[in-house]
Structure 1
Amino acid sequence: MAPTLNLVGAGHVGRVLGRLFASSGAFTVQDVLTRGADSARAAVAFIGAGRVCASVEAMRPASVWMLAVGDDAIVPACERLAAAGQLDGAIVFHCSGAKASSELAAARAAGALVASVHPVRSFADPQAVAADFAGTYCGVEGDAAALAVLEAGFGTIGARTVRIDPAQKTVYHAAAVFASNYLVTVLDAALRAYVAAGVPEQVARELARPLASEALANVFRLGPEAALSGPVARGDHATVARQQEAVSRWHPATGQLYEALVAPTADLARRKRGVS
């Protein structure tokens, strides 16, 4: 028999994982609790398994409890579970990328093993993610015995787990922000600068596309040091100074962004030259 699994919170992440666990047999999805009965019914329909519950108290004991709730709701949800008295000997984990398993202290005090498992991808389209989840990396940390069960279950649905330092969980999550969100911000600055120079917006995208695409491909193929090019990498300080001044005149906030990127780019250039 597969371990039983209860879901507390079943938004996009909870629904996708619930469906994959149920269909693969990694876990037996048992009870589902969300903020409303309608959303719980929709989640159970998407998952294809489970029973709608209206309260924590109505949920049956389970081997594993997944908290797929917002970051700020992890502690309150965990405390409600602990108060219900059903966690002794169970595993409790959450799916946050920003919070560590230490957020589940109430569960540990109630006799549970705790962990966090963070799938590193966007869940904006649950149907698509559920169909293409295999190969997804998941950052994991927590109690060793909990991870042994969870890594086996996630492995069944095709996940690749990687252990992370719980003390650096916030830095770990910031890595995703750099790799995704801030990358978009930097590209937005490039497109706006092209437009400011008289390039039509659609043409600006085509000018930036090969530069951005080739730079990304080189980072992942060769590493950031080898991928770096441009005036900072060449040590062309006069050009960098002129660009910073011009960008600051055009758009002060973007000028500050340009300035903020010079020092870390210079550090990367020193690593490229092998200078410590």
Structure 2
Amino acid sequence: MKTLNIIGVGKVGKVLAKNFLRQQQFAIQQVLNRSMASASTAVAWLGAGRAVDAIAQLQPADVTMLTVSDDQITSVCQQLADAGLLKDGSVIFHCSGAKASTELQAARMAGATVASVHPVRSFANVDLLAEQFVGTICSLEGDEAALAVLVPALQAIGAETVIIQAENKLLYHAGSVFASNYLVTLMEVALRTYQAAGIPAEVAQKMAAPLARQTLENVFALGTQAALTGPIARGDMQTVVLQQSRLSEWDQQAGDLYRVFTQPTVDLAAARISDSHSEK
């Protein structure tokens, strides 16, 4: 079984490592965090590995997983290479959604093969996701030799793997940001708007929840065009203009957000009409 070192064990690192361990894909060798206390806590949670708090304490491993912050990937990789921890035949990968495997050039220069792995899931609840990882889509890109090791390991823990190109990482990750992060921001604006209209916060939650849940269900069951409802879908642009104006009076950011969404929604409604005509 190949050995695995983990650098910067946070939520993503914990979930992947726990599942790799459970399915006996890698033997966890060492866990490096910024402090010994943090590394020891991660080792205790995983139930495997040895905690260290300095690169000098690491021993070479067959596979190294970097789950450090994006701005630390290149420098940590360089430090590992300088310490002689990355050699011919070893694999190193990071788990950034936005950064490509090109961030690991120092490892390539040392003879290792490189990749990036990004699980497309929300990691808000680590304990839950660690137990419900099966079915998670993981995007990968990098060297063929690295992918030959990582793809089977990920599939063994129940992931669905998708190979992408390094030059498309930023666009790919932006899609995830729209589908997750900005969706949260949009719901925050929706809830604040209800409250600005005099709706108590707890009632606003009850009003927004079924709308949001049913809309998302419709998107994935029917497609975006069929799921679109509301004034723009009905062609009621007078209401749209009045709402945008009133929102801007109350909160300029909310008004600007409403305005930015208007034209893409008009285009989506128009595409639905065009497609329905072409089907006749």
**Structure 2 length normalisation: TM-score?**
0.92
Aligned to 1:48: 47
Taking a change above 3 Å as real, the CA distance of residues 220 and 34 of structure 1, as seen in their structure-2 partners, is same
1:233-252 equivalences in 2 (<5 Å) = 233-252=233-252
Matches of 1:70 and 1:193, distance apart in 2: 34
Aligned-residue offset at 1:47: 1.5
Taking a change above 3 Å as real, the CA distance of residues 109 and 205 of structure 1, as seen in their structure-2 partners, is same
Given the alignment of the two structures, is residue 76 of structure 1 paired with residue 75 of structure 2, yes or no?
A: yes
Aligned to 1:37: 36
**Structure 1 length normalisation: TM-score?**
0.94
Could you tell me whether the CA contact under 8 Å between 1:16 and 1:47 is conserved in 2?
no
Q: Percent identity of the aligned residues?
A: 53
Aligned to 2:60: 61
Matches of 2:44 and 2:153, distance apart in 1: 22
Aligned-residue offset at 1:273: 1.7
Given the alignment of the two structures, is residue 222 of structure 1 paired with residue 186 of structure 2, yes or no?
A: no
Matches of 2:218 and 2:168, distance apart in 1: 28
Aligned to 1:199: 199
Could you tell me whether the CA contact under 8 Å between 1:94 and 1:116 is conserved in 2?
yes
SS at match of 2:118: strand
Aligned to 1:128: 128
Aligned to 2:209: 209
SS at match of 2:140: strand
Aligned to 1:17: 16
Cα deviations across residues 186-222 of structure 1 (Å, max 9, x unaligned)? Answer: 2222222222222222222222222212111100111
Aligned-residue offset at 1:52: 2.3
Q: What is the total number of aligned residue pairs between the two structures?
A: 275
Aligned-residue offset at 1:7: 1.1
**Which residue type is aligned with residue 51 of structure 1?**
R
Aligned to 1:85: 84
**Worse overlay, 254-263 or 30-39:** 30-39
SS at match of 1:274: helix
**Worse overlay, 116-125 or 212-221:** 116-125
**Worse overlay, 214-223 or 231-240:** 231-240
Could you tell me whether the CA contact under 8 Å between 1:225 and 1:269 is conserved in 2?
yes
Could you tell me whether the CA contact under 8 Å between 1:191 and 1:201 is conserved in 2?
yes
SS at match of 2:241: helix
Aligned-residue offset at 1:185: 2.0
SS at match of 2:97: coil
**Worse overlay, 261-270 or 159-168:** 159-168
Aligned-residue offset at 1:107: 0.5
Aligned-residue offset at 1:102: 0.7
Aligned-residue offset at 1:125: 2.9
Aligned to 2:101: 101
Matches of 1:42 and 1:209, distance apart in 2: 36
Q: Mind listing any 5+ residue stretches in structure 1 that lack a counterpart?
A: none
